[in-house]
């Protein structure tokens, strides 16, 4: 492979083992786990920002008290020192927030990428499907 984008937990071990050469990070800020890597915006493409993210969701219709309890327990985990250290070592930041903020974030991401697909006139080309 000559060029690729991947997420921090997959990239960092390869970078540290000198198996790949990282040119930069696609997030708006440098990674705490690899602060020597510039952002793509710093490298000459202002405004560039794309990143992978992870989240936890429950099925639609899950009762509000269950959502509240899950949120409370999930939000507590990254506060534990060993969990925070492991996340940081993998190049991950635990952002957190309310379930409503997460829903808003997902909607904003969908709108951002849908606009890019429309503006670039990207078409899906599925070969071999029936």
CA 118 to chain centre: 22
- Beta bridge partner(s), residue 39: 25
Q: What is the DSSP letter of 38?
A: P
Domain of 22, in residue numbers = 1-52
pLDDT at 43: 94
pLDDT at residue 45 is higher than 70: yes
* Number of domains present in the structure of the chain: 1
Task: Give the pLDDT confidence score for residue 119 in this predicted structure.
Answer: 95
Quote the pLDDT of residue 129. Answer: 59
Residue 40 lies in a domain: yes
Give the bridge partners for 25, in sequence order: 39
Q: What is the CATH number of the domain that holds 29?
A: 3.40.190.10
Over residues 77-116, the pLDDT tens digits come to: 888 888 888 888 787 888 888 999 999 999 999 999 999 9
Q: Is residue 47 part of a domain?
A: yes
Query: Would you say residue 127 lies in a domain?
Result: no
Does any domain span residue 25?
A: yes
Q: Look at residue 130 and tell me if it is in a domain.
A: no
């Amino acid at each position: 492979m000559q060029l690729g984008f991947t997420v921090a937990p997959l990239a960092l071990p390869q970078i540290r083992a000198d198996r790949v050469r990282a040119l930069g990070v696609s997030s708006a800020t440098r990674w705490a786990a690899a602060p020597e890597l510039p952002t793509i915006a710093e490298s000459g493409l202002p405004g560039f920002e794309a990143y992978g993210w992870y989240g936890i969701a429950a099925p639609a219709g899950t009762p509000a008290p269950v959502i509240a309890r899950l949120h409370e327990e999930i939000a507590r985990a990254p506060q534990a020192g060993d969990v925070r250290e492991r996340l940081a070592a993998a190049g991950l930041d635990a952002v957190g927030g309310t379930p409503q903020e997460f829903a808003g974030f997902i909607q904003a991401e969908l709108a951002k990428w849908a606009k890019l697909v429309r503006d670039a006139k990207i078409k899906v080309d599925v070969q071999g499907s029936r």
